[in-house]
Chain A
Amino acid sequence: MSSDVKVSYPFESFNARYLNPSQVASSFVPPSQYEQLVKQRHTVVVGPRGSGKTTLLKMLQGEALEAWQHPFANEFRNKINYTGVFIPADRSWKAQIDALGNKKFSEEHSRLFGIASFTTHVLRCFISAIIYRVHPPQTEGLNSHRRVVLSLEQEALFVKKLSDSWLLPSHVPSLIGLHFALATRLSKIKILSSQESLLDEKDRSKRLADEKILHLSFLDCIVEAMDLFEDISKERNTKWALLFDELEIVPEQIRDTVIPSMRSVDSRILFKLSLSPFNANIQTSVDSVMPAHDYDVLQLWYSSKEDGYPFCHELLRLMLKAREIEDHSEDVIFGPSEFDQSKKEYENHISHYSPGSRQYERILSLAKKDQSFNRYLQEHKIDVDKIHMIKGSERASDIRKIISIVVVRDEFRKADNPTADNSDEILNIKNGKLRSRKDVHIYGGVKSLFAITEGNPRLFIGMVDRLLDQRQSTDNKVLPHIQTAEIKNAERRFRAFLKTIPCSSLKGNQPTRGVLTLIDIIGEAFRKNVITDEFTPEPKGSFIVDSRTPPDLLKSLGEALNAGALVYVPDRDSDIVINSVREKRFRLSFLLAPNYCLPLTLMRPINLSSLLPSSSMQKSLF
């Protein structure tokens, strides 16, 4: 969300949805998926909210490519030999389309108006792309991308012919006039629906059948426009990429046209679609197309946190550069993370576990207060005092694996013997094992920030930008308590969003299934597994939606996934776009980890049904 202030610092506004192409380009860091996306193939980009789908699609537009300043920009500009037509959609517009006819229309008539509205929108976006192509850039110093020259006469001829074909008036023989005429058509569609809602239903089908503007096919219209453009500009086989953002929002029948078209559409058209991971109604269409042959699927989330680190690292580097603090390393600015020590790091620097080191103190501290951990150490013949002297990569790996669990247990678990703990810090006791502390800073550190933001550019830019605003002027460090506060703020806002996602209403005895309520139940169960239960080096902290999971919960799980509260952990050959969450594995977003005292680690799976309260209790809980 941006204020009215003009964006001067490229990372100031972090939601790409309403940034113009050059603003998107100014802060664009190409993730590895961009290389795949630019190919001349149909592509489906899949990711939860904020994962950068919109940014990626917008970076296929000519204006964005022209404005993009990046070492790789020229290479990509050369690869992209098509014109991107960005077609946005959002929740509020969907609500407006759904409301046409004030619920007085049959499903068929509602669909007709929805398709006509969206078709008009697509055509208008197409004309925007043509306007870009035929008008010279307004700013000097841009790297021209796929511009062409049309004389005024050629433009007028194109507009005249296209207006006839698209059933539009051609009062003003210019592309701008055509653009405006399409906006007016949307207004007409609204008027028509309002009028129809007041008329008798009896002859509605006949009346609507006579309204030609309700029956245009967007693909036919675009092919006609492409043909005309080639005729007039003398270009041949020009390719156009239709960039449908948030395809799940567009009317079902448009979706059902777009997805199968990837198999048989005019070869000059490419489809680049963005989708949320869970789509209950899309899979049928998707199934009609063979993924490996007809289109590529790009996954925009990282089920393993380390996979997102290179992207976050590069994004952070550019953010630091934009603020002219390049000479400080990210580790210095944000400090090290308690949860991340690579295997290599561990093997090379075993002294991290020497007496006095943070890790050593953690292990020692937990061993003093957690009898089950002590038993584990004894059973595995690990002497805490000699832990830094352990030899052999296997044993070293054992220690590395448990350190994340040790950190959270030490931080959040009450001592089995209270005298061993600082009782002043015990504020709240739950299950007799949990303590809550005033100042918990274990989630700070640069790698933890990478993990908590899930490689989600919107969240990362928003959070890190605010943190950098609060860095110390003397040494550019962002203090742990500031990082903790910002993480808590982001988590609170995220929870507020999750709470706002509407769920089905109460019907008889059927309980409502709020997304946040469900997430809280799962998170609390994980907290118990990880913190209060007996120590185990590999506690269960992810889940599989098993066959005993009540069907009422499936939709909420899908919504939690699309919202980014859950992260899908697909098997190697699993579908990326799913229409059912059954038998799939998920973990909680690391952004929610502090709320449930969880480590920033992908933990072992457990059946979801075993985490849920008994069915009789569910009704009162949800």
Chain B
Amino acid sequence: MNDSISIKPWLFNEQSPNKYHVIVAALGYEERARFISEKIGLQINRKIASAFHTRKVLSYFDNEAWFKNAGYMINEVPDCEFKKWWVSELHSIIKNADTELNLCVDISSFNRFRTAVLIEGILEISKQKVINTDFVYAPAKFSVPSEDPGVMEICGPVTDKFAGWTDYPDYPVNAIVGIGYEPEKAVGVIEFLEPNKVWILVPSGEDKNYDERVREANRDLWDMFSPKQFISYEVSNPYEYFMILEGLVFGSLKNGRPILVPFGPKMFALCCLLVACVHSPYPGVWRVSSGDAEVPCQRIANGKIVGICTKFSPVVGSGCDPTPMPALGKGNMERQTSTKTGRV
């Protein structure tokens, strides 16, 4: 159990952009990449846009022009250098922070790998200073998914740090799978992992078309598993699904090896990564991806901003160091059960 991390809801109406020392966003091809920056980024002193070096299509160049005009520092690095860049960026940022560092990270257009690396970097630097990070996300309007690329290049831990660990390799794998509208990906990874127990987390509440599409893309799951293995969550309520995930992982660690597989909304993936940090090093977080073979698909913000607040403190043993026994109690979560969603 990692007590150096605490999590609480992010309430849009209670946020003052002035509190942030830095905002970090992704510069990619999705139109929504700049949505949150347009709403709250301008008032923040230090602004960073992390650019992808491939697939500069769709809204990429519009976004680039906007970020430049808005005074964002644009850094373009490939995935393999992203960690190095991010850690060095954080080093330079904390030099100027007085006591605690307040970050706002817009994960809307980051991929799962980069989101994981963002957290890894924060964990590493938080050994020196408290880092408060608000992870924010702009849910997208429903759009028809991109063409199925057919070939998976990656099916494994999202990064080495999130591979997870076990002191009991004979314990069964338990899969906690968030589903999205990628056809049959969830079924495929479940067959691949061959877990003993499975929980399926079903996103809902943003768009009826999306909900229907998710169900259609995963119809086999409803045949394979009993209704009690399905847990519905509201995309706009990250703290709630963080708590659900934390509970599932906590329960699973008693006699199993939990592996989280977050398809679906990126905020859900972020919560999986945070839960893995809280119970570090035991849960694994996996991704299944076609890599650059995936066809870029436009995503337009639906007008909401949702988020979750995290605090990473420099407690000895923080980061992804293991604890000698599986988690024995719930983490340092603030037990608030409701969050508000901001519509702007």
Q: Which residues of A are at the interface with B, using a C-beta cutoff of 8 A?
A: 1-5, 15, 17-18, 88-93, 95-96, 98-99, 101-103, 121, 124-125, 128, 183-184, 186-187, 190-191, 194-195, 489, 492-506, 512-514, 516-517, 622
The interface residues of chain A lying within 8 Å CB-to-CB of B155 are 500-502
Inter-chain CA distance A17–B175, complex, in Å, is 15
| A1/B190 in contact, CB under 8 A | yes
CB closest chain-B residue, reference A513:
B151
CB closest chain-A residue, reference B317:
A191
Inter-chain CA distance A187–B325, complex, in Å, is 8
| A497/B191 in contact, CB under 8 A | yes
| A496/B166 in contact, CB under 8 A | no
Inter-chain CA distance A183–B170, complex, in Å, is 11
| A184/B225 in contact, CB under 8 A | no
Q: Closest Cβ of chain B: how far from A414's Cβ, in Å?
A: 28
Return the contact of B197 from the options A4, A503, A622 (Cβ within 8 A): A4
Return the contact of B163 from the options A3, A17, A96, A516 (Cβ within 8 A): A96
Contact code string B149-190 (vs A, CB < 8 Å = 1, else 0): 011111111001101111111101100000000001101111
Return the contact of A92 from the options B150, B164, B323 (Cβ within 8 A): B164
Inter-chain CA distance A82–B20, complex, in Å, is 67
Known A-B contacts A18-B172, A88-B169; the reply to A99 vs B196 at CB < 8 A is no
Is B324 part of the contact surface with A, judged by Cβ < 8 Å? yes
Interface stretch of the complex, out of B70-78, B207-215, B287-295: B287-295
Is B257 part of the contact surface with A, judged by Cβ < 8 Å? yes
Inter-chain CA distance A178–B288, complex, in Å, is 38
Inter-chain CA distance A581–B300, complex, in Å, is 48
Q: Closest Cβ of chain A: how far from B67's Cβ, in Å?
A: 28
| A497/B188 in contact, CB under 8 A | yes
The interface residues of chain B lying within 8 Å CB-to-CB of A501 are 152, 155, 192
| A3/B153 in contact, CB under 8 A | no
Q: How many residues of B contact A (CB 8 A)?
A: 56
| A512/B151 in contact, CB under 8 A | yes
Return the contact of B192 from the options A91, A191, A194, A495 (Cβ within 8 A): A91
Return the contact of A1 from the options B156, B167, B195 (Cβ within 8 A): B195
| A91/B191 in contact, CB under 8 A | no
Number of A-B residue pairs at CB separation under 8 A: 160
CB closest chain-A residue, reference B188:
A500
Contact code string B220-238 (vs A, CB < 8 Å = 1, else 0): 1001111011000000000
Q: Which of B169, B185, B192, B220 has the most CB of A within 10 A?
A: B169
| B169/A187 in contact, CB under 8 A | no
| B166/A502 in contact, CB under 8 A | no
Inter-chain CA distance A499–B187, complex, in Å, is 10
Contact code string B42-64 (vs A, CB < 8 Å = 1, else 0): 00000000000000000000000
The interface residues of chain B lying within 8 Å CB-to-CB of A496 are 184-185, 187-188, 191, 220
Q: Which residues of B are at the interface with A, using a C-beta cutoff of 8 A?
A: 150-157, 160-161, 163-170, 172-173, 184-185, 187-198, 220, 223-226, 228-229, 257, 259, 281, 284, 288, 291-293, 319-325
Other 4 A-B pairs with CB < 8 A, given A88-B169, A92-B164, A493-B220: A89-B169, A96-B166, A183-B167, A512-B151
Inter-chain CA distance A578–B249, complex, in Å, is 40
| B194/A3 in contact, CB under 8 A | no
Inter-chain CA distance A514–B155, complex, in Å, is 13
| A103/B160 in contact, CB under 8 A | yes
The interface residues of chain B lying within 8 Å CB-to-CB of A186 are 166-169
Q: Closest Cβ of chain A: how far from B170's Cβ, in Å?
A: 6
The interface residues of chain A lying within 8 Å CB-to-CB of B198 are 1
Inter-chain CA distance A267–B183, complex, in Å, is 53
The interface residues of chain A lying within 8 Å CB-to-CB of B164 are 92, 96
Return the contact of A17 from the options B160, B189, B194, B225 (Cβ within 8 A): B194
3 smallest CB-CB distances across A and B, nearest first, come from: A500-B188, A99-B163, A514-B151
Known A-B contacts A191-B322, A512-B153; the reply to A499 vs B166 at CB < 8 A is no
The interface residues of chain B lying within 8 Å CB-to-CB of A102 are 160-161
CB closest chain-A residue, reference B280:
A194
| A499/B184 in contact, CB under 8 A | yes
CB closest chain-A residue, reference B120:
A102
| B192/A17 in contact, CB under 8 A | no
The interface residues of chain A lying within 8 Å CB-to-CB of B324 are 184, 187
The interface residues of chain A lying within 8 Å CB-to-CB of B321 are 191, 194-195
Return the contact of B150 from the options A4, A506, A514 (Cβ within 8 A): A514
Q: Closest Cβ of chain B: how far from A254's Cβ, in Å?
A: 13
The interface residues of chain A lying within 8 Å CB-to-CB of B170 are 88, 121, 124-125, 128
The interface residues of chain A lying within 8 Å CB-to-CB of B325 are 187
Inter-chain CA distance A496–B184, complex, in Å, is 6
The interface residues of chain B lying within 8 Å CB-to-CB of A98 are 160, 163
Q: Closest Cβ of chain B: how far from A3's Cβ, in Å?
A: 5
Known A-B contacts A3-B229, A88-B170, A499-B152; the reply to A492 vs B196 at CB < 8 A is no
CB closest chain-B residue, reference A495:
B184
Q: Could you list 5 A-B pairs, sorted by A, with CB under 8 Å?
A: A99-B161, A187-B167, A194-B319, A497-B188, A499-B188
| B192/A95 in contact, CB under 8 A | no
Inter-chain CA distance A53–B198, complex, in Å, is 23
Q: Closest Cβ of chain A: how far from B192's Cβ, in Å?
A: 5
Q: Which of A96, A98, A494 has the most CB of B within 10 A?
A: A96
The interface residues of chain B lying within 8 Å CB-to-CB of A495 are 184
Known A-B contacts A4-B228, A186-B166; the reply to A99 vs B157 at CB < 8 A is yes
The interface residues of chain B lying within 8 Å CB-to-CB of A195 are 321
| B152/A514 in contact, CB under 8 A | yes
Inter-chain CA distance A190–B288, complex, in Å, is 25
CB closest chain-A residue, reference B190:
A1
The interface residues of chain B lying within 8 Å CB-to-CB of A4 are 197, 228-229
| B220/A503 in contact, CB under 8 A | no
Known A-B contacts A4-B228, A99-B157, A121-B169; the reply to A15 vs B152 at CB < 8 A is no
| B185/A500 in contact, CB under 8 A | yes
CB closest chain-A residue, reference B124:
A198
Q: Closest Cβ of chain B: how far from A184's Cβ, in Å?
A: 6
The interface residues of chain B lying within 8 Å CB-to-CB of A506 are 153, 291-293
Inter-chain CA distance A575–B55, complex, in Å, is 46
Q: Closest Cβ of chain B: how far from A189's Cβ, in Å?
A: 9
Inter-chain CA distance A495–B191, complex, in Å, is 10
The interface residues of chain A lying within 8 Å CB-to-CB of B187 are 492-493, 496-497
The interface residues of chain A lying within 8 Å CB-to-CB of B163 are 95-96, 98-99
CB closest chain-A residue, reference B152:
A502
The interface residues of chain A lying within 8 Å CB-to-CB of B184 are 492, 495-496, 499
